[in-house]
């Protein structure tokens, strides 16, 4: 594996191998000394043109725990703010002898484009509304840890489908692992053509959140991405919450064993109530913890694993 640009790049077996390594890496998190020599002498640059808390810091921790040298560059504070082109920025960083580039960019396709400019391995850490593959891997890893094999498990993905790169990556990943997926959103937050997409990729679509909830093993709430919205996608935040928020009242509709996920960052009180985010069945902090292990696994397979760079 040379790059990780899309979940579509991974077979079921490759996802399984990434999870196996992630489980070993997860054990490192509970050690007193959290350091493996695996990537000693390797350099990883986190190149972030969009804000991030979880992804950037967990890639940084993952790289450091594997003994790589990790450098963070963000658009604010780099020469991109002086008008340097993306290509020039990337070629400049690559010319310093970098082995891995972890890239977040507001343009869909940016990670693929960058991978065509450089010899380094490129990881897509979120490109526009396209994909966020490591988020989907850590979500599936977390769900599998709690629910076991995901084949036949029913996952509802709820909220702002239109602007979500997490949705696309999760749909591909969960379907590859054999899960049943239902996406739930108001008509204004569903992509046009979603019916054809659903038919082609084998997932279901719904409008009525209350009808879906009693039949799921997991509910994944998506953030309402107000920074990407230029118009009125719903009349008021209150109306959105009434129709599509995971409220305290809706918790009662979930089966007893069902779990709650959110990729973060959350709009508490909008798409998810504090009672749901902080519930015993919420896996939100487990997702964050798994994020480090899964990203260690990805860096390992790209930069040190058997067949890396091939
Ligand atoms: N889930 C996610 O990508 O969060 P950040 O934007 O904080 O990285």
Residue 227 beta carbon below 6 angstroms from any ligand 1 atom: no
Ligand 1 pocket check: which of 132, 263, 267, 284 to mutate, most ligand atoms within 8 Å of Cβ?
263
Residue 53 beta carbon below 6 angstroms from any ligand 1 atom: yes
Residue 263 beta carbon below 6 angstroms from any ligand 1 atom: yes
Strand partners, 48: 74, 104
Q: How many CB atoms lie within 10 A of CB 279?
A: 17
DSSP string, 175-227: HHTT-EEEEE--GGGS-TTHHHHHHHHT-EEES-HHHHGGG-SEEEEPP--GG
Ligand 1 pocket check: which of 58, 125, 264 to mutate, most ligand atoms within 8 Å of Cβ?
264
CA-nearest of 86, 150, 145 to 283 is 145
Residue 55 beta carbon below 6 angstroms from any ligand 1 atom: yes
Tens digit of pLDDT for each residue in 268-280? 999 999 999 999 9
Residue 135 beta carbon below 6 angstroms from any ligand 1 atom: yes
Tens digit of pLDDT for each residue in 257-268? 999 999 999 999
Distance (Å, whole) CA 310 – CA 305: 10
Q: What is the mean pLDDT of residues 32-49?
A: 96
Q: Give the pLDDT of residue 287.
A: 98
Tens digit of pLDDT for each residue in 73-127? 998 888 888 889 999 999 999 999 999 999 999 999 999 999 999 999 999 999 9
Residue 265 beta carbon below 6 angstroms from any ligand 1 atom: yes
């Amino acid at each position: 594996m040379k790059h990780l640009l899309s979940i579509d790049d991974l077979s079921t077996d490759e996802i399984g191998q990434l999870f196996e390594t992630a489980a070993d890496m997860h054990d490192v998190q509970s050690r007193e000394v959290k350091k493996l020599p695996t990537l000693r002498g390797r350099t990883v640059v986190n190149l972030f043109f969009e804000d991030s808390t979880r992804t950037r810091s967990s890639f940084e921790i993952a790289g450091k725990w594997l003994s790589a040298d990790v450098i963070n560059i963000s658009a604010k504070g780099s020469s991109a703010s002086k008008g340097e082109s993306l290509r020039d920025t990337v070629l400049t960083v690559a010319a310093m002898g970098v082995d891995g580039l972890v890239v977040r960019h507001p343009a869909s396709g940016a990670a693929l484009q960058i991978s065509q400019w450089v010899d380094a391995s490129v990881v897509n850490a979120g490109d526009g509304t396209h994909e966020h593959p490591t988020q989907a891997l850590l979500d599936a890893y977390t769900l599998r840890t709690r629910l076991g094999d995901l084949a036949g498990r029913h996952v509802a993905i709820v909220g702002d489908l239109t602007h979500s790169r997490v949705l696309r990556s999760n749909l591909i990943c969960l379907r590859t692992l054999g899960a049943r997926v239902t996406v739930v959103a108001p008509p204004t937050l569903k992509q046009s053509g979603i019916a054809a997409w659903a038919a082609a990729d084998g997932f279901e679509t719904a409008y009525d959140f209350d009808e879906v909830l009693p039949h799921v093993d997991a509910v994944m709430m998506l953030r309402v991405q107000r920074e990407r919205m230029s118009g009125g996608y719903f009349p008021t935040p209150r109306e959105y919450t009434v129709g599509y928020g995971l409220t305290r009242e809706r918790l009662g509709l979930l089966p007893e064993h069902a779990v709650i996920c959110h990729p973060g960052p959350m709009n508490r009180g909008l798409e998810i109530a504090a009672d749901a985010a902080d519930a015993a069945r919420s896996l939100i902090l487990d997702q964050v913890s798994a994020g480090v292990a899964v990203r260690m696994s990805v860096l390992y397979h790209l930069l040190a694993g058997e067949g890396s760079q091939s």
